[in-house]
Amino acid sequence: MYRLRVRLALVAVIASVMAGSLQAEHVYKKAAAVNDLMAYMVKPAMDQIKVFREAGGPADKDEWQTAYGAISMVTEAAQLVLMDGRVKDDAWSDGAEQVIEAARSAMLGAYRMDANGYSSSIRQMQTGCKTCHDVHKKDKE
């Protein structure tokens, strides 16, 4: 009986090691500079968000889906800004974290087609952007 338990335990350990190696996460290696993320992901997405803001919000289901997609791009870019040695200081990380948190709420607002939730979350996203930009883009804007 003892040998059976030892064998079963050994099989369980080997199975868990093999399962872990099969499910190993992808190791992220940055390919784009922060300027690239801002120019090619964030700026086009924020330009779209600005169009909706100036129009009083998305008008129909297609526009809500477009808003959702734009917000998701900003969210992903903010997460990438925090990865692989890109963080320069607390303003950088604090701003990105604020954007991510607010963007999740904005995405939910867009998904629900909730104009109030969407608008207030977009303002919070912009505050997060400003946290970093006040330090790192003050002379460039």
Q: Does residue 103 lie within any of the structural domains?
A: yes
Q: What is the identity of the amino acid at 16?
A: S
Q: Does residue 18 lie within any of the structural domains?
A: no
Q: How many domains does one find in the chain?
A: 1
- Residue of 138 and 95 predicted with greater confidence: 95
What is the Cα–Cα distance from 67 to 84, expressed in whole angstroms? 28
Q: Does residue 129 lie within any of the structural domains?
A: yes
Between 5-14, 17-26, 32-41, 100-109, the lowest mean confidence (pLDDT) is in 5-14
The greatest distance separating any two alpha carbons of the chain, rounded to the nearest whole angstrom, comes to 75
Report whether pLDDT(23) > 70: no
Other CB atoms within 10 A of residue 107 CB: 20
Report whether pLDDT(54) > 80: yes
Q: Does residue 33 lie within any of the structural domains?
A: yes
Q: Does residue 10 lie within any of the structural domains?
A: no
Provide the pLDDT confidence category of residue 50 given band limits of 50, 70 and 90. very high
Q: What residues have CB less than 8 Å from 23, skipping those under 6 apart?
A: none
- Which of 54, 78, 94 lies closest to 63 in space, CA to CA? 54
What is the Cα–Cα distance from 27 to 115, expressed in whole angstroms? 38
- Lookup: tokens for 48: 């779209």
Q: Does residue 94 lie within any of the structural domains?
A: yes
- Residue of 133 and 63 predicted with greater confidence: 63
Tens-place pLDDT, residues 71-96: 999 999 999 999 988 888 888 889 99
Cα dihedral sign, 57-62-68-74: negative
Q: pTM of this prediction?
A: 0.77
Q: Residue 127 sits in which domain range?
A: 28-136
- Would you state the pLDDT for residue 30? 83
User: What CATH number does the domain containing 104 carry?
Assistant: 1.20.120
Cα dihedral sign, 103-109-113-114: negative
What is the Cα–Cα distance from 97 to 20, expressed in whole angstroms? 30
Q: Does residue 22 lie within any of the structural domains?
A: no
- Whose tokens are 């959702």? That residue is 68
